[in-house]
Amino acid sequence: DAGVIQSPRHEVTEMGQEVTLRCKPISGHNSLFWYRQTMMRGLELLIYFNNNVPIDDSGMPEDRFSAKMPNASFSTLKIQPSEPRDSAVYFCASSFFAGPPRDEQFFGPGTRLTVL
Amino acid sequence: AQRVTQPEKLLSVFKGAPVELKCNYSYSGSPELFWYVQYSRQRLQLLLRHISRESIKGFTADLNKGETSFHLKKPFAQEEDSAMYYCALSGQKGGSEKLVFGKGTKLTVNP
């Protein structure tokens, strides 16, 4: 298994453009997480899904951000329009959740987004 | 509210010296605590969790509910321990599997 797959690995775009980040979780996992990492704020949870359903999106910064999980093997995080302050590394992680204790979250390599 | 504090952004020690990475948390219930590590050019990965009560790569961490701490310790640091370390908390209320991370501590072990 290649683990969690994210694409693209690097994205450079101009302010105002739409950005779509993609994630393929580990097969068999039923939970998927999107995180954002910045120097100032560290690692922040944006949203997570369980069985393809969004459970907690309280970390999504504003309406410019949206996430979908149309099936168990694919998720997207979209920013429209993008702004320079969105520049960060975005991580996707997946796990299998069947109640406490919680299973390990497996992280993807991240997408480094730069908005000019 | 759930909160994790790692007071040291940077920590530098010499090889063979003891190392302690501090983690304090704020949570009203019974938390699950974790340490994740990110080595250079590798993915963030689980190092250990408090319920396992095991030693991984020589590291241990004890949950101290009285001090609300979960410090990570190793008696003799090695150069390969140089990495970014994150403490994380998961609350049990509502069965949520949400993890709250600290801002991380960058450990450098000098030869």
Nearest Cβ partner for B97 among A102, A108, A110: A102
| Residue A74, both tokens | 């694919």
Q: Which residues, other chains included, contact B6 with Cβ-Cβ below 8 Å and sequence gap of 6+?
A: B21, B22, B23, B85, B86, B87, B102, B103, B104, B105
Rounded CA gap, A50 and A106, in Å? 15
Give φ, ψ of B9 to 5 degrees: -75, -35
A53 Cβ under 8 Å from any chain B Cβ:
no
Q: Nearest Cα to A47, choosing from A64, A23, A26, A68?
A: A68
How does pLDDT run across B56-76, given as a tens digit for each residue?
Answer: 899 999 889 899 999 999 999
B99 and A105 within 8 Å at the Cβ level: the answer is: yes
How does pLDDT run across A40-93, given as a tens digit for each residue?
Answer: 888 999 999 999 999 989 899 889 999 999 999 999 999 999 999 999 999 999
Which of A105, A106, A111, A112 is the best mutation test for B, with the most CBs of B within 10 A?
A105
B46 Cβ under 8 Å from any chain A Cβ:
yes
Q: Nearest Cα to B86, choosing from B44, B25, B30?
A: B44
Name chain B contacts of A95, Cβ cutoff 8 Å.
Answer: 97
Which of B34, B45, B97, B106 is the best mutation test for A, with the most CBs of A within 10 A?
B97
Q: Nearest Cα to B87, choosing from B20, B16, B12, B29?
A: B20
CA dist A100 to A50, A53, B30, B46, B51, Å? 14, 19, 12, 17, 11
Rounded CA gap, B45 and A39, in Å? 19
Q: Which of residues 76-95 of B touch A (CB under 8 A)?
A: 86, 90, 92, 95
How does pLDDT run across B25-67, given as a tens digit for each residue?
Answer: 998 877 889 999 999 989 999 999 887 778 889 999 988 989 9
